[in-house]
């Protein structure tokens, strides 16, 4: 019997000068009768009082006085044979649930005064309060015992310096015993040496501080890991809950590895990943895509910044494509190119954007996910190729004109057919060699001087009419082809309109290196007076594209009366490409 409850019963019997003080306890406190003082026929047995009897005795949950002859049969069965006297009964309930009856018996026929009943009601309230605590403790103990997590309550032990040295295990549930092994000593560290970190962390906590959490290897080693949640209680006690998290850690590790593999694959494939939620406007981009948008560092960018970085025409297209994709039920995605001006670096880039529509099954609007690839180099290469193709067509027309001119000039100045044939074949072979140099080039690059001389070779100009000089300089294959086309255009224009169209005309070509830039100057003199063309032809635009046609190449073109002049430049790094 609960000692505190027994004491309250004894006090109640003394106060009432009663021979009997009994509590008929119902489950879950136990199937037995708790006896105070007096005679009971079955003090160690449980004789239930039915709900109907309880309700007849206490229709209003208040104390009742009963003559001996009016006691319910269920009550009489457990009382002594002497049923004389008068009885006072109090209902014992917790939260309106019936849990027992307090019965007080007084010999004789004297009744129970109202003041006396009110006084004894205080003892009934004490008993009800104690029963509530017992029920709460019972419920807590049930949860403690039946928990799937290991639970332990221990008291701190200290060494000679006052530092926490171990935990004395006061209570542990079955799951904790299984965790450390059923042959469990009374101290924690011999069972689980790695728990020293729990002890060190808990020793610094105040009582009732928030619950702390750590993950540790298990007491038996191996690959098992456990999450330890602990909280310091009053009286130097610690509540510890242990849950195995091995599988969760393995899953998390696999997710981390998968994410790293995805990042590596995206980096190698030069892909940027994005998602967009139209309901919130929230946009997420990875590091690769931030680089494509010219963002310095790892700072996040929002939807508004993304839109501002896209020029108006491309922005309207992106909006149309996104809207059509959101409204479509098709699972097919879309791909389209856009231009982007760097948010931080201001560089214009070309990006191919691909996206698919994701469907939510909870009724919320769909969202978009996708990838992007920087296609700036491809676009620039295609533009250069287009320019070259146009130039080749233009060059073909010029070549036909030159060949016809060569034929006419040769036959006009030759004295016989054989001499004309020999001269004509020589000039045509020189022209073919120039074309071969332009179209094939050197896979390892070429010398700047060779490119210049190759472009001038077909003309068979008189010695001294064209002077070309400059330092040793290497030109990449693509830049060599572009440079040869530019020089051919300059020579063709000089033959048609400039210095080489008259006998007195001269051309000086000089190239140099200035501040990590390659510079070539073309200066004509002695030819007819010239003026800027009325319209910008394709050839003029080609010359204006500079030495390489790249983004950092520059051209200064001047039409002086005494002769044409241009200054073309490009970074050495671009010239080597």
Does residue 571 share a domain with residue 484? yes
Q: Within a domain: residue 398?
A: no
Distance CA 437, CA 484 (A): 8
Asked, for residue 166, whether it belongs to a domain, the answer is yes
Q: Is residue 114 part of a domain?
A: yes
Report d(CA 554, CA 571) in Å as an integer: 9
Is residue 201 one of the residues assigned to a domain?
yes
Per DSSP, the residues of 212-263 read EEEEEE-TT-TT-EEEEEEEEETTTEEEEEEEE-HHHHHHHHHHHHHHHHHH
Q: What is the mean pLDDT of the chain?
A: 78
Query: Are the C-beta atoms of residues 278 and 307 closer than 8 Å to each other?
Result: no
Angstrom distance (rounded) from CA 85 to CA 301 = 89
CATH number at residue 484: 3.30.565.10
> Is residue 324 in a domain?
yes
Is residue 534 within 8 Å of residue 526, measured between CB atoms?
no
Instruction: Please give the DSSP secondary-structure letter assigned to residue 50.
Output: P
Question: How far is C-alpha 294 from the chain's CA centre?
Answer: 20
| 443/512 same-domain check | yes
Q: Are residues 135 and 193 in the same domain?
A: no
Residue 332 counted as domain residue: yes
172 and 239 together in one domain = yes
> What is the per-residue pLDDT for 524?
93
- What pLDDT is attached to residue 31? 38
pLDDT digits (tens, 9 = 90+) for 101-116: 888 877 776 778 888 8
Quote the pLDDT of residue 264.
66
Residue 38 pLDDT more than 50? no
pLDDT tens per residue across span 526-535: 999 888 887 7
Of 145, 160, 192, the residue that ends a domain is 145
Ramachandran angles phi, psi of 151, nearest 5°: -120, 140
| Band of pLDDT at residue 300, cut at 50, 70 and 90 | confident
Peptide bond between residue 335 and the one before it cis (omega within 30 degrees of 0): no
Domains contained in the chain, number: 4
**Same domain (yes/no): 313, 353:** yes
What does the pLDDT read at residue 525? 93
Separation CA 443–CA 463 (nearest Å): 31
Residues 455 and 370 in one domain: no
Helix axes 417-439, 477-496, angle to 10 degrees: 140
Grouping H, G, I as helix, E, B as strand and the rest as coil, residue 543 is helix
- Is 415 a domain residue? no
Q: What was the pLDDT predicted at 517?
A: 92
pLDDT at 53: 72
The C-alpha R_g of the chain, in whole angstroms, comes to 51
CATH number at residue 184: 3.30.450.20
**Confidence (pLDDT) at 564:** 94
In the structure, what pLDDT confidence band is assigned to residue 39 with cuts at 50, 70 and 90?
Answer: very low
135 and 67 in a common domain = yes
Tokens standing for 112? 């129970």
1-40 as b/e: b if 16+ CB within 10 A: ebeebbebbeebbeebebbbbbbbbbeebeebbbbbbbeb
Query: Three-state SS for 165?
Result: strand
Cβ contact 194:219 at 8 Å: yes
pLDDT at 510: 95
Whether 23 and 117 share a structural domain: yes
Residue at a domain's end among 83, 110, 145 = 145
Same domain, 207 and 243: yes
Distance, CA of 256 to chain centre: 11
Nearest to 34 by CA among 92, 111, 81: 92
**Does residue 411 sit within a domain?**
no
Q: Predicted confidence band at 567 (pLDDT cuts at 50, 70, 90)? A: very high
**What is the model's pLDDT at position 514?**
92
User: What does each C-alpha distance from 25 to 33, 34, 134 come to in angstroms?
Assistant: 6, 7, 12
Among 145, 175, 204, residue at a domain's last position: 145
Kindly report each contact of residues 329-337 with a partner whose C-beta sits within 8 Å and lies 24 or more positions away, as own/partner. Answer: 330/357, 331/356, 331/357, 332/356, 333/357, 333/370, 337/375, 337/379
- Give strand pairing partners of 491: none
Intra-chain end-to-end CA distance of the chain, in Å: 97
For residues 355 and 349, give the distance between their C-alpha atoms in angstroms, rounded to a whole number.
19
Residues 161 and 292 reside in one and the same domain? no
- Co-location of 188 and 239 in the same domain: yes
Which CATH number belongs to the domain containing residue 67 in this structure? 3.30.450.40
- What's the domain range around 190? 148-247
- Residue 22: the pLDDT is 63
Strands 466-469 and 506-514: parallel
- 181 plus 128 within the same structural domain: no
Query: Residues 234-273: pLDDT tens digits?
Result: 778 888 888 888 888 788 777 777 767 766 666 666 788 8
- What count of other Cβ atoms lies within 10 Å of the Cβ of residue 120? 20
What is the rounded distance in angstroms from the CA atom of residue 331 to the CA atom of residue 369?
12
Half-sphere exposure of 222 (CA within 13 A, CB side): 8
């Amino acid at each position: 019997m609960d000692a505190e409850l027994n004491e309250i019963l004894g006090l109640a019997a003394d106060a009432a000068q009663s021979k009997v003080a009994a509590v008929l306890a119902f489950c879950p406190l136990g199937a037995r009768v708790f006896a105070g003082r007096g005679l009971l026929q079955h003090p160690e047995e449980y004789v239930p009082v039915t709900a109907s009897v309880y309700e007849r005795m206490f229709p209003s949950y208040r104390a009742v006085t009963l003559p001996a002859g009016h006691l319910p049969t269920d009550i009489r069965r457990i009382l002594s044979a002497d049923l004389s006297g008068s009885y006072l009964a109090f209902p014992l309930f917790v939260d309106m649930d019936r849990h027992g009856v307090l019965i007080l018996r007084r010999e004789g026929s004297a009744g129970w005064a109202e003041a006396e009943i009110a006084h004894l009601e205080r003892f009934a309230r004490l008993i009800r309060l104690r029963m509530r605590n017992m029920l709460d403790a019972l419920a807590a103990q049930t949860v403690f015992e039946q928990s799937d997590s290991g639970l332990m309550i221990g008291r701190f032990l200290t060494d000679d310096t006052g530092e926490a040295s171990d935990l004395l295990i006061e209570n542990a549930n079955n799951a904790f015993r299984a965790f450390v092994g059923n042959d469990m000593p009374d101290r924690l560290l011999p069972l689980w040496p790695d728990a020293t970190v729990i002890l060190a962390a808990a020793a610094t906590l105040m009582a009732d501080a928030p619950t702390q959490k750590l993950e540790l290897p298990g007491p038996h080693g191996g690959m098992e890991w456990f999450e330890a949640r602990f909280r310091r209680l009053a009286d130097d006690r610690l509540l510890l809950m242990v849950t195995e998290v091995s599988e969760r850690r393995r899953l998390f590790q696999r997710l981390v590895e998968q994410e790293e593999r995805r990042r590596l694959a995206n980096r190698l494939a030069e892909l940027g990943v994005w998602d967009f939620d139209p309901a919130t406007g929230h946009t997420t981009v990875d590091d690769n895509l931030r680089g494509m948008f010219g963002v310095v560092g790892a700072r996040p960018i929002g939807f508004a910044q993304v839109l501002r970085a896209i020029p108006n025409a491309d922005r309207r297209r992106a909006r149309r494509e996104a809207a059509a994709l959101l409204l479509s039920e098709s699972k097919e995605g879309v791909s389209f190119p856009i231009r982007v001006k760097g948010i931080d670096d201001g560089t214009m880039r070309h990006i191919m954007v691909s996206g698919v529509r994701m469907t939510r099954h909870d009724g919320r609007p769909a969202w978009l996910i996708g990838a992007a690839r920087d296609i700036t180099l491809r676009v620039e290469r295609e533009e250069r190729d287009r320019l070259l193709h146009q130039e080749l067509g233009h060059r073909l027309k010029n070549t036909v004109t030159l060949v016809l001119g060569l034929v006419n000039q040769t036959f006009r100045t030759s004295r016989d057919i054989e001499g004309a044939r020999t001269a004509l074949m020589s000039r045509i072979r020189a022209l073919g060699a120039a074309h071969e140099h332009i179209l094939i080039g050197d896979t390892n690059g070429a010398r700047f001087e060779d490119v210049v001389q190759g472009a001038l070779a077909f003309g068979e100009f008189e010695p001294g009419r064209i002077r070309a000089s400059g330092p040793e300089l290497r030109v990449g294959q693509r830049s060599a082809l572009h440079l040869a086309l530019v020089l051919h255009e300059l020579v063709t224009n000089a033959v048609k309109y400039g210095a080489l169209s008259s006998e007195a005309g001269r051309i000086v070509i000089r190239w140099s290196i200035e501040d990590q830039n390659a510079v070539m100057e073309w200066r004509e003199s002695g030819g007819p007076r010239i003026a800027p063309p009325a319209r910008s032809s394709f050839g003029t635009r080609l010359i204006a594209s500079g030495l390489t046609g790249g983004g950092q190449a520059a051209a200064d073109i001047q039409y002086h009366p005494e002769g044409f002049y241009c200054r073309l430049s490009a970074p050495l790094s671009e010239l080597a490409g």
